[in-house]
Structure 1
């Protein structure tokens, strides 16, 4: 079948377009191209690919109501599956920024950073790429295109387009946390390289074991590309020991341990070789022989073999006995309140930034030994992630906060 000169085909009413030819050229476009509109999970293409390899292309587009913008999907089968299987394709824009309705089988949109619903980090579209009937599924390399001008990336979403990568849902993965309902998790694995100039995510290398059916595009500041069990920094014999544990790794080339004195500007202190592809627990440890006189912040940068870089949670330590603790943080009603417990008098400068690093408010505060209540009022903020940074004479502190109400 060839679709040319911007002709388009609409699949509707839970219909199947069945392609019974396993060759990659059984569906093609010509001239100025063609479009296929699905826009529902059950409006599908069933391609009986079987054990054939090659570059398969689905000329998806958005709905006619949103301009029928071309968002083609490319799936190159690099390793043949075992068995007379097929691949089912569909895609649709969700009706709301919280990505509802979910595809069948998805039980949550939990974020690894906030331990809460992370749907505002996700483009408002699902892709079904479902390999069926195989004893061993094929391995593939995919490119997923998106429409940056549509409501899929904007609205109330918190997305930086250049951060978009692909992620898939593992219905059999057991996860725990306050926002997990039922079985399944996005499993903290990211795939592909963002190509914002062409509005797609490319080089989505998916081995057979990771070929699950439900796919999204997500801002990579929210999830984690490796499954990081823990990351911590502790004072030990006049030095700082930085330790982390991974439960699984995919295409992980190396880690870089970075240090900061203000939780904003980081510099590299060492590199550590990653495990590549691993499904076993790996333990890592490095020493910083030059601890700070106050709070020092450490973060982990992970680099894939294709150069994709992802940053992980920040750990802090203070080897100075004159320290403080920040607790009881409450962000609502356009105000932030928190408590500082300290062992010494100290002048603090408090900064409050939005997700893009823009200063929302700042304040000088003189605290005294003991407990100190601090409040920032009239913030005039919207839903999203914010950063609190406290710079003191002896101590520094930084954390991310989620505002869930306008």
Structure 2
């Protein structure tokens, strides 16, 4: 028979260092401490949302995890307990709340859980500086800076704008993922200067190595010596293991979900998606045919502030025949710009052309051919002088898809007019060049 655990003492400290099971309720009186130590599990097999609860009118249980591997494993029934709060009463060692409250607000949010659906919870506080980092987290840098490369972190260590605590949650055994609403409590001593009006809930996307998209700003509800956030709905696909709270003004980094360009009959279709936006003003789509010179295709309004998935799509009716490069630039309300891309797409049935010949007139510099190709090719490159004599022959030259530069040695060529021929199995390109 599984153990039934009930704390009935006026003041109690209970330590366990292995695994504790409860099929009935865990009822506490007198505000006791249950200290988890050494990587243990508290397994709650009762799906009643009140399976962990104080007795009527009594102070809460103080459940001290303070380690990522001290885990509460709670079997739940999201479908049968829609709207009910499941409280995991974590505290710090002083008894100040660091709890998690989860609920499934409606039938749709309950998903399709399996017979053994359960969630696992743990938490620990840190000194200022947020170390040690959780097992899946590699950094605490922010994204409130203009950068040129998507996915690259900002350079600012963001620990001063992050509460000194991490929470951990995982879900198991479901067909369609439930979508919980989460509330967090953080001890006042771990607040780290974040005010009651500018807090956000964030989680770490370990696959992308990013502090993925923040959710809508929430509120820290004051109840000294701790603060509690208002509820945050977590949609399907946005649930990860590691969570924290950050400043609305200096969020941890976000990710662009996708960015693609594809040629169609009407031109090139450019699509991108954002999972959340904060103070975004507008997006600019730019096109280039050589990756160097860019022109604006269009500008469209951004969402401003959103925690929902938003899909954007524009059509470039004037996409050139050949390789087209696209980038998207987001401009926020403060004028800060963030660039995404470039991505490329090939328009037209078959593209193979010499875009440019670069000759800087130096004896030691090569002669550079800039070639645009819609597919990988093998070619021979020949240079013929004005008298029709073959003076340069380079066989089996690989020309990759897209825009590439092929460098030719011109040190044996004297000044004069030449004809360059680039020949594949079924195509021939020609260009006249003057060396002087």
| TM bucket, shorter chain | 0.5 to 0.7
SS at match of 2:175: coil
What are the ranges of 5 or more consecutive residues in structure 2 without an aligned counterpart?
A: 1-25, 146-153, 258-270, 283-300, 315-329, 338-436
What are the ranges of 5 or more consecutive residues in structure 1 without an aligned counterpart?
A: 174-183, 230-244, 258-270, 284-297, 302-311, 316-406
Shift of 1:17: 0.4
1:121–1:159: 8 Å Cα contact kept in structure 2?
A: yes
| Deviations 1:287-346 (CA, angstroms, capped at 9, x unpaired) | xxxxxxxxxxx9745xxxxxxxxxx6636xxxxxxxxxxxxxxxxxxxxxxxxxxxxxxx
1:39 matched to which residue of 2? Answer: 66
Q: 1:189 to 1:5 in 2, by over 3 A?
A: same
1:167–1:191: 8 Å Cα contact kept in structure 2?
A: no
2:250 matched to which residue of 1? Answer: 222
Query: Quick check: 1:110 aligned with 2:138?
Result: no
Q: 1:126 to 1:194 in 2, by over 3 A?
A: same
Cα distance in 2 for partners of 1:168, 1:279 equals: 19
Cα distance in 2 for partners of 1:8, 1:192 equals: 32
2:273 matched to which residue of 1? Answer: 247
2:165 matched to which residue of 1? Answer: 125
2:336 matched to which residue of 1? Answer: 314
Shift of 1:246: 6.9
2:122–2:167: 8 Å Cα contact kept in structure 1?
A: yes
Matches within 5 A, 1:130-279: 130-148=170-188, 150=189, 152-154=190-192, 159-173=194-208, 184-198=209-223, 199-223=227-251, 247-250=273-276, 277-278=308-309
1:93–1:124: 8 Å Cα contact kept in structure 2?
A: yes
Shift of 1:194: 1.3
Shift of 1:191: 4.3
SS at match of 1:162: coil
1:27 matched to which residue of 2? Answer: 52
Query: Quick check: 1:74 aligned with 2:101?
Result: yes
Q: 1:221 to 1:3 in 2, by over 3 A?
A: same
Query: Quick check: 1:61 aligned with 2:61?
Result: no
1:48–1:85: 8 Å Cα contact kept in structure 2?
A: yes
Query: Quick check: 1:86 aligned with 2:118?
Result: yes
Cα distance in 2 for partners of 1:47, 1:195 equals: 26
Q: 1:153 to 1:124 in 2, by over 3 A?
A: same
SS at match of 2:50: helix
SS at match of 1:42: strand
Cα distance in 2 for partners of 1:132, 1:23 equals: 18
TM-score of the superposition, structure 2-length normalised? Answer: 0.50
Question: Which has the higher Rg, Structure 1 or Structure 2?
Answer: 2
Shift of 1:223: 1.9
Cα distance in 2 for partners of 1:75, 1:38 equals: 17
Q: 1:192 to 1:20 in 2, by over 3 A?
A: farther
Shift of 1:227: 5.2
SS at match of 2:174: coil
Cα distance in 2 for partners of 1:246, 1:200 equals: 35
Cα distance in 1 for partners of 2:76, 2:228 equals: 24
1:188–1:223: 8 Å Cα contact kept in structure 2?
A: no
Q: 1:228 to 1:282 in 2, by over 3 A?
A: farther
Cα distance in 1 for partners of 2:206, 2:255 equals: 16
Shift of 1:161: 4.7
Q: 1:103 to 1:136 in 2, by over 3 A?
A: farther
Cα distance in 2 for partners of 1:103, 1:139 equals: 24
Matched residue pairs, number?
246
Q: 1:14 to 1:167 in 2, by over 3 A?
A: same
Q: 1:137 to 1:272 in 2, by over 3 A?
A: closer
SS at match of 1:132: strand
Shift of 1:40: 0.8
